[in-house]
Amino acid sequence: MSDRPHPFLIVVAGLVYLFLMLPLVIVVGAALSDTTYLTFPPQGLSLRWFENIFEISAFRRTIVTSLQIAFLGTMIALLIGIPAAYALNRFRIELPKWLGTLFVLPILVPEIVFGFALLKSFTVGTGAPIFLSLLIGHTLIVLPYVVRVISASLASFDFSVEEAAISLGSAPVKTFFTIVLPNIRAGVIAAFILAFITSLNDVSVSLFLTGPGISTLPIQILAHVEQFFDPTVASVSVLLMFLTVAVMAVVERTLGLTFLAK
């Protein structure tokens, strides 16, 4: 078989990529339109819909909440996920196999079921504040990504290096920070980015965990779309896309982009 795929397959792949890219191009175009309704190609270029995002207080508020939750949730997930991933790799024989499966559960069970269950059993059950519930929900949905990416990083780490440091008199905790952590730096960065973006984009869990004054950006976008059909949402979408591009550029700089495909 020659290395070159059949022309038919190349055409199909080309069309699939066109299908993937065109809608996003259309969103960008619609965001730049000067009209008060959504249209493409844009009629008269303007950035006024971008200004409009920040004039609507609900958008301003939810952007802040979303960034807070994504940052805090990701940090907590790293804080509890890195030791867990380390334990899974370092004590593979001593720890039961189901423990690894447990950490995947948050992406295995339907997210919307998790969101509902958290609302019903935790928020309503204990009267916990909405912000706290939202933070817990987001921490848990990004935990599987953190554990998986860090585990993949640790899989190629030679634990005998750590063993050597400890037998030469380095304290175990200090050894972790001076020997292990620097070696999995790339994995930690990747885990942070993946978790942050996942949290920022989440709909299904946040859907139930919003209350008076507290909501996340994707939920606000959903609510806005159902009421108004103006280019504001297109502008927010473009803003989010820019954020994604920026993040991908950071990944490219530090790790190389094929890292994300693993």
Partner 1 sequence: MTSRRFWRRSGATGWALSAPATLAVIGFLLIPIGAVIAGTFMDPRGVFAPYISYFNSGFRTTVLFRTLQIAAITTIISLIFGFMTAYVVSRAPGKLKSLLIVAAVFPLLTGVVVRAFAWLIILGRNGILNQTLLGLGITSEPLEMLYTQGAVIIGMVYLFVPLMVLSLVGVLENIPKDVLQASSSLGASPLATFWQVLLPLAVPGLIVGAVLVFTGSFTAYATPQLLGGERQTVLATLLHQRAMVSFDWVGASTIAAIMTVITITIVLAMSHIARRINPMAT
d(CA 59, CA 37): 19
d(CA 70, CA 62): 12
For the record, the structure tokens of 25 come out as 């191009």
Site for partner 1 in 156-175 (CB under 8 A): 172
For the record, the structure tokens of 206 come out as 């946040």
Q: List the x/- string, 177-216, binding to partner 1 by CB under 8 A.
A: --------------------x--xx-xx--xx--------
Binding of partner 1 at residue 258 (CB under 8 A)?
yes
d(CA 153, CA 182): 11
Report how far apart the first and last C-alpha atoms of the chain are (Å, whole number): 27
> At closest approach, how far in Å is the CB of 257 from partner 1?
5
With CB under 8 A as the contact rule, the residue among 23, 44, 182, 212 that binds partner 1 is 23
d(CA 85, CA 181): 12
Sequence letter at residue 114: F
Site for partner 1 in 72-131 (CB under 8 A): 79-81, 83-84, 86-88, 90-91, 93-95, 99, 102-103, 105-106, 108-114, 116-122
Q: Which residues pair with residue 214 across a beta bridge?
A: 211
Q: Which is nearer to partner 1, 52 or 201 (CB)?
A: 201
Q: Which is nearer to partner 1, 2 or 57 (CB)?
A: 2
Binding of partner 1 at residue 132 (CB under 8 A)?
no
